[in-house]
């Protein structure tokens, strides 16, 4: 039956509505399909899975940047290691809570990474200060200035401690502080070179931790590695101590923590860390040599000998040739201390032959060999070796380095013994200047060098120059060591000789009497250890006083 006009209009309207609905449905289906293609494409091109992996990728990039700033290769953490560092840092007291991230894609889907340099919707977090490693923040790489500032703080702290120890006349406490002050001053003198060597060591240590780790899930591993790569002298040690508390890396972490403490010239905890490492893995040559070397430097020769004997019981192919050479030097020092000079000389020769010509420890080896030759009465050979040591250390460590001052002092003493006073004088002067840079003007070592320089002047008949040095040396010794110390007696005797030579016999007799009383009642062994770095014949000094 034919349709009417109105019916046709209704049919057309209905058909148009149906067509619109169909088009809308098709459009939505096409959009959904495109979205799924984009998600799949993001997954293929390496988008991180979920917000946790996104945070890990952020830390990874930050660590790479820290490595680039230091000039290192900037090896990045694995995502799992980075996430571990993030969790450890977030648990630190005082850390700001992070905002809860928006829900990410379903497992397996990828999120497109943020373009480099694109700002966060909210204000960006500030970079952590040196020594901090927080979640989602960079571990700033230390520069040479940061390193030297940390060492300068350590030096000032040691100098303040030393002032208190001197006020108490605590010779044992002073000995440790003197050694630490020499070490930290030496690093400061070398400046950029010290930092470059330290940074290179940190990079190698970070590699060592990662290679030794059975898994990247070890708590604290990522943070310790990141701080090592940043060459953070202070927080790096703390992170390593924490890592060593309970992990499969405890021995290595303790050893590295000891190395950082030694770098800061904090020797007691450094030696304790080395001992902890040996207690966990007693056959590692690195641990044994590090402990022995520091014990030798601290004058703990019995401990050093025990560790060195264990070191040399290891097979010849264990440990590097450099490590074995340094251990031979340490053992040579122990032998020389016990009067086994021939054995010490042979060990020094072997060590020198094994080390590279430019190795920074060659100067120390030459000095040790010179000292032993001098004790053997081989003065000409000793003098040549001292000169070589001074030249080497001045060129490679700097002319104001404490090692240079120590060898200059010994060489000056040798020349004085050989009655070559004109050669001794400038060396004592240089040694005095270097020691003042370490200890200031009111330290027993300063007084000892002043006494010796005054003695050179006296023997040359330069009495006006000698007397004020004697009197200043005497004042320093009486103040810091006490009026009955052997150093006081030696300077009193020398000043008495000067007074006698200048016609002041009454004053000379009074000074000699004071000196003789001290020699009679004092403890020769303790006194000699405080007086100089080598042996002095007390009986000869007593004889000089009585004969005066």
Beta-carbon count within 10 A of 506 CB: 8
Q: Is 302 exposed, middle or buried (0-12, 13-18, 19+ CB in 10 A)?
A: exposed
441-548 under CATH 1.10.3860.10, yes or no:
no
Tokens of 401: 């380095």
| CB crowding 361-393: b at 16 or more within 10 Å, else e | bbbbbbbbbbbbbbeeebeeebbebbebbbebb
Helix, strand, or coil (residue 111)? strand
Whole-number pLDDT of residue 214: 77
Structure tokens given for 14 = 């209905």
CB count within 10 Å of CB 539 equals 9
Q: Tell me how far apart the alpha carbons of residues 139 and 58 are, in angstroms, rounded to a whole number.
A: 12
What pLDDT, on the 0 to 100 scale, is given for residue 540?
A: 52
Q: What is the pLDDT of residues 253-288, one digit of tens each?
A: 999 999 999 999 999 999 999 999 999 999 999 999
Q: Report the alpha-carbon distance of residue 365 to residue 411 in Å, rounded.
A: 15
Calpha distance 41→37 (Å, rounded):
6
Task: State the Cα–Cα distance between residues 365 and 360, nearest whole angstrom.
Answer: 10
Instruction: Give, for all 548 residues of the chain, the pLDDT tens digit.
Output: 344 444 444 334 444 444 444 444 434 433 344 333 333 333 323 333 333 333 333 323 332 332 333 233 333 323 233 333 333 333 333 333 233 233 333 333 333 333 333 333 333 333 333 333 444 346 899 999 999 999 999 999 999 999 999 999 888 889 999 999 999 999 999 999 999 999 999 999 999 999 999 777 898 999 999 999 999 999 999 999 999 987 889 999 999 999 999 999 999 999 999 999 999 999 999 999 999 999 999 999 999 999 999 999 999 888 899 999 999 999 999 999 999 999 999 999 999 999 999 999 999 999 999 999 999 999 999 999 999 999 999 999 999 999 999 999 999 999 999 999 999 999 999 999 999 999 999 999 999 999 999 999 999 999 999 999 999 999 999 999 999 999 999 999 999 999 999 999 999 999 999 999 998 886 443 443 334 434 344 445 444 443 33
**Residues 497/521, Cβ–Cβ less than 8 Å:** no
Q: In angstroms, how far is CA 373 from the centroid of its own chain? A: 31
Q: Count CB atoms within 10 A of the CB of residue 358.
A: 9
Q: Nearest 5°: phi and psi at 25?
A: -60, -45
Looking at the DSSP bridge assignments, the partners of residue 252 are none
For 82-102, letters b (16+ CB in 10 Å) and e give bbbbbbbbeeeeeeeeeeeee
Please report which helix (H) or strand (E) contains residue 545, including its range. helix 538-547
User: Residue holding tokens 């120390």?
Assistant: 364
Q: CA torsion 20→26→28→34, rounded to 10°?
A: -150
Cα–Cα distance, 294 to 299 (Å, whole number): 9
DSSP run (H or E) holding 408: helix 402-417
Burial of 42 (0-12, 13-18, 19+ CB in 10 A): middle
Task: List pLDDT tens digits, range 124-158.
Answer: 333 333 333 444 346 899 999 999 999 999 999 99
Distance CA 166, CA 177 (A): 10
Report which of 189, 161, 43 is spatially closest to residue 106, judged by C-alpha positions.
43
| pLDDT (0 to 100) of residue 100 | 27
What is the b/e burial string over 473-486, where b = at least 16 CB atoms within 10 angstroms of the residue's CB?
bbebbbebbeeebb
> Rounded CA gap, 397 and 395, in Å?
6
| pLDDT (0 to 100) of residue 9 | 41
CB 372 within 8 A of CB 345: yes
Q: 251, 232 in Cβ contact below 8 A?
A: no
Answer yes or no: pTM beyond 0.85.
no
Output the pLDDT for position 319.
83
- 470: how many CB neighbours lie within 10 A of its CB? 27
Phi and psi at residue 198, to the nearest 5°:
-65, -45
pLDDT on residue 172: 85
Q: For residue 278, what are the contacts with CB-CB under 8 A and spacing of at least 6?
A: 284, 287, 288, 291, 307
Two structure tokens written together for 518: 């001290």
**How does pLDDT run across 203-218, given as a tens digit for each residue?**
999 999 999 997 778 9
Domain boundaries, the chain: 56-81+142-280, 441-548
């Amino acid at each position: 039956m034919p349709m009417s006009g109105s019916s046709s209009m209704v049919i057309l309207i209905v058909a148009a509505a149906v067509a619109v609905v169909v088009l809308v449905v098709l459009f939505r289906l096409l959009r959904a399909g495109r979205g799924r293609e984009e998600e799949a494409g993001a997954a293929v091109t390496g988008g991180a899975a979920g917000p946790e992996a996104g945070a890990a990728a952020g830390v990874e990039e930050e660590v790479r940047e820290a490595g680039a700033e230091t000039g290192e290769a900037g090896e990045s953490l694995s995502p799992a290691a980075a996430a571990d560092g993030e969790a450890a840092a977030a648990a630190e007291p005082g850390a700001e809570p992070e905002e809860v991230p928006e829900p990410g894609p379903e497992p397996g889907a990828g999120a497109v990474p943020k373009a480099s340099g694109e700002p966060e919707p909210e204000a960006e977090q500030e970079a952590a200060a040196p020594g901090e490693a927080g979640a989602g923040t960079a571990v700033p790489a230390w520069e040479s200035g940061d390193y030297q500032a940390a060492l300068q703080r350590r030096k000032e702290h040691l100098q303040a401690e030393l002032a208190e120890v001197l006020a108490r006349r605590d010779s044992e406490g002073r000995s440790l502080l003197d050694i630490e002050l020499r070490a930290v001053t030496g690093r400061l003198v070398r400046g950029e070179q010290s930092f470059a060597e330290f940074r290179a060591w940190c990079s190698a240590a970070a590699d060592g931790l990662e290679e030794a780790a059975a898994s990247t899930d070890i708590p604290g591993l990522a943070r310790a590695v990141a701080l090592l790569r940043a060459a953070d002298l202070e927080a790096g040690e703390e992170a390593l101590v924490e890592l060593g508390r309970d992990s499969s890396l405890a021995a290595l972490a303790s050893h590295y923590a000891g190395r950082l403490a030694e770098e800061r010239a904090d020797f007691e905890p450094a030696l304790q860390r080395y001992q902890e490492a040996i207690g966990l893995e007693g056959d590692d040559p690195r641990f044994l040599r590090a402990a022995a070397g520091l014990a030798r430097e601290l004058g703990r020769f019995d401990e050093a000998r025990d560790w060195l004997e264990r070191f040399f019981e290891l097979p010849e192919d264990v440990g590097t040739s450099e490590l074995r050479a340094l251990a031979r030097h340490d053992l040579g020092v122990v032998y020389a201390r016990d009067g086994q000079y021939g054995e010490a000389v042979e060990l020094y020769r072997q060590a020198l032959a094994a080390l590279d010509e430019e190795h920074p420890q060659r100067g120390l080896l030459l000095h040790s060999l010179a000292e032993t030759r001098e004790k053997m009465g081989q003065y000409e050979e000793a003098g040549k070796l001292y000169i070589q040591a001074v030249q080497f250390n001045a060129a490679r460590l700097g002319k104001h380095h404490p090692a240079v001052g120590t060898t200059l002092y010994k060489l000056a003493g040798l020349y004085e013994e050989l009655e070559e006073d004109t050669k001794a004088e400038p060396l004592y002067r240089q040694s005095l200047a270097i020691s003042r840079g370490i200890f200031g003007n009111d330290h027993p070592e300063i007084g000892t060098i002043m006494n010796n320089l005054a003695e050179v002047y006296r023997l040359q008949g330069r009495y006006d120059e000698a007397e004020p040095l004697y009197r200043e040396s005497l004042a320093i010794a009486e103040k810091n060591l006490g009026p009955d110390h052997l150093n006081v007696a030696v300077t009193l005797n020398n000043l008495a000789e000067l007074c006698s030579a200048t016609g002041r016999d009454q004053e000379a007799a009074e000074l000699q009497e004071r000196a003789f009383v001290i020699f009679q009642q004092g403890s020769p062994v303790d006194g000699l250890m405080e007086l100089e770095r080598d042996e002095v014949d007390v009986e000869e000094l007593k004889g000089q006083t009585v004969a005066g």
